[in-house]
Amino acid sequence: MSAAVLRVENLVKTYGEGDALVRALRGVSLDVERGDYVAIMGASGSGKSTLMNILGCLDVPSEGRYLIDGTDVGSLDEHQLAVLRNRKIGFVFQSFNLIPRMSALANVELPLTYGGVGAAERRARALEALGRVGLADRVHHDPNELSGGQQQRVAVARALVTAPALLLADEPTGNLDTMSTRDVLDIMDRLSESGRTIVIITHEDDVAARAKRIIRLVDGEIVEDRRQAPVEGPPPRPAAQTSAPLPGNGSGPPRGAGGDHDERPACEVRSR
């Protein structure tokens, strides 16, 4: 691993004033190196969601400094921040945040559309990304025609399609059943093996067990920052289809990226 993809220095975030003042973050500092796989954990009210919003350039700190891929976020205006989010950060949310009346392919193309990428290149890159997550045969399905696990895999493909410096996942398995959770985590494992930088926000120990490093927050402060040998997922089940391999992987689709276990369409999730 080389230079830090993200660096935060003495981040402080407060809300309100006087007696109603809330200190969500109290001087948080950390570096995430290129190719790292970090799980940020904490109970409700620990500050992990506030930190996630700052790392994703969705909020700004009250004090402190944040750099992503060498760029000081505090020096950017709103337009520059929007460009940085589009090009440098791939988001995966608990609620998928797919556009209901757009196909899986169109949903994955969306960040490239905002980025001004031409139609032919958009389609090629989106198809490749969907193949990586084992959905080459679902590209023309709308979200309400996909199971919850498949919807989250579309969201992962959308996050990857811009080749971001950082993949930022907020409770990505929170709405999934056990088997679909395994599928998504297996894909994250493969992405990590291929050198992708991943930060995942979670309160689940089995999700954090897949990461290389665990950071734990309590009352807005880091109380634990340790490295671990990631727990490998179970052996892959037979794939229902053949998909393009992840970069840096010898052959075959991501582990567990074959047929989904709950084929009932999940409830339609509207974007925020």
Indicate whether 235 pLDDT > 70: no
- Specify the residue for token string 């056990």: 178
Please indicate whether residue 236 or residue 77 has the higher confidence score (pLDDT): 77
Indicate whether 58 pLDDT > 70: yes
Residues 6+ away with beta carbon under 8 Å from 131: 243, 244, 253
Indicate whether 126 pLDDT > 90: yes
Distance CA 149, CA 157 (A): 13
Q: Report the percent of the chain where pLDDT is more than 90.
A: 78
Q: Quick: pLDDT tens for 237-256.
A: 544 433 333 333 333 333 33
Indicate whether 231 pLDDT > 90: no
Rounded to two decimals, the pTM is 0.82
Comparing C-alpha atoms, which of 207, 217, 197 is closest to residue 4? 197
Chain-centroid distance of CA 104 in Å reads: 17
Q: Quick: pLDDT tens for 11-48.
A: 999 999 888 899 999 999 999 999 999 999 999 889 99
Q: Quick: pLDDT tens for 180-196.
A: 999 999 999 999 999 99
Judged by phi (left if over 0) then psi (alpha if -120 to 50, else beta), residue 26 lies in: beta
Structure tokens of 234?
A: 């179970």
Distance CA 197, CA 3 (A): 12
Q: What are phi and psi of 205, to 5 degrees?
A: -65, -35
